Amino acid sequence: MANAFMISGLTKTYKDFVLDHVSFTVPGGSIVGLIGENGAGKSTTLNAALGLIQKEDGIVSILGSKELDGDIKEQIGVVFDGSNYPEILSPRKLNRVMKNIYKSWDEQTWFRLLKQFSLPIDKQIKQFSKGMKMKLAISAAFSHHSKLLILDEATSGLDPIARDDILDMLLDFVQDEEHSILISSHITSDLEKIADYIVFIHEGKVVFSKPKDELTEQYGMIKCGAAQFDALDKSDIIVYRKRDYEWQVLISDREKMQKKYPKTMIVPASVDEIMLLYVKGEK
């Protein structure tokens, strides 16, 4: 399946931050989770890809096109952290606005989703809670037959039940192989539930871009003392972190390492732990 989204060598320099040749893809029919700590460059990457900020270098291709023109934008649904819709409008008025913006705006889907999320149709958006605003923005992204959804911290303001509902919607969305999702989130547990691939950005660089199953099923963490740590072959170590009386060592193949170091305790590493070790650990 062709890539729904591809960026290669994306570069943007600020006074105190550099997005440094970021490259990754979103294969068609898949969900890619973009993770990284605050200020790592997730939003900058998405903003540059969406043409909100000028990139210095690099190539962006969305749904096979390097030009982000109206026809391509018609097929992308974007949700930011916050609803970003005029707060004076009600969902009914917003419907009238959106159907004059999107050729493919589907009123029936819009009102069905509002009903599904129990969002009042005639109440001003300013009276909505943060969770309701996020649901509204997600409803809008789903209401114009998007082929690619780009969500920037879209689930962060939601309670666990609403998050779960939305994650289910996202999973339903990619059942059609023409649909793909790129989602950035701090909540790595959400991405563990739904993502097919994880892209980890740290200090403006892509640290890894891997299938999620490889991370959760093959990656592991050795928890050991100083003597065991010294005995480890350093080429097996991706990163390590020294806690008070314990060494935490990230390795890429649990099974292989268990055979090599049978007396060592090796546990599966969550995406959260992998991210934490990369950010706080040493090489």
Q: What are phi and psi of 90, to 5 degrees?
A: -105, 165
Contact 212, 33 (CB under 8 A): yes
Q: Does residue 38 touch other proteins according to CB under 8 A? A: no
Residue 162 Cβ vs other proteins, minimum distance, rounded to whole Å: 21
- Select the residue interacting with other proteins from 8, 11, 23, 47 (CB under 8 A): 47
- DSSP3 helix / strand / coil % (the chain, rounded to 5): 35, 30, 35
> 133 to each of 40, 89, 164, 186, 191, how far by Cα in Å?
25, 12, 16, 19, 21
Q: Does residue 123 touch other proteins according to CB under 8 A? A: no
- Select the residue interacting with other proteins from 1, 2, 13, 51 (CB under 8 A): 51
**Residue count, binding to other proteins (CB under 8 A):** 32
CB under 8 A: which stretch of 65-73, 197-205, 208-216, 269-277 binds other proteins? 65-73
Q: Looking at beta carbons only, is 93 or 112 nearer to other proteins? A: 93
Q: Does residue 97 touch other proteins according to CB under 8 A? A: yes
Q: Looking at beta carbons only, is 140 or 222 nearer to other proteins? A: 140
Q: Which of residues 140-159 bind other proteins (CB under 8 A)?
A: 150
Torsion of CA 72, 78, 84, 86, to 10 degrees: 50
3-class SS of residue 271: helix
Q: Does residue 268 touch other proteins according to CB under 8 A? A: no
The amino acid sitting at 90 is S
Q: Which of residues 100-119 bind other proteins (CB under 8 A)?
A: 100-103
Q: Looking at beta carbons only, is 100 or 235 nearer to other proteins? A: 100
CB under 8 A: which stretch of 68-76, 207-215, 217-225, 261-269 binds other proteins? 68-76
Residue 14 burial (10 A CB sphere; 0-12, 13-18, 19+)? exposed
The 3 state secondary structure assigned to 191-236 is HHHHCCEEEEEECCEEEEEEEHHHHHHCCEEEEECHHHHHHCCHHH
Residues lying near other proteins in the complex (CB under 8 A): 43, 47, 50-54, 70-71, 73-74, 76, 78, 80, 82-89, 93, 96-103, 150
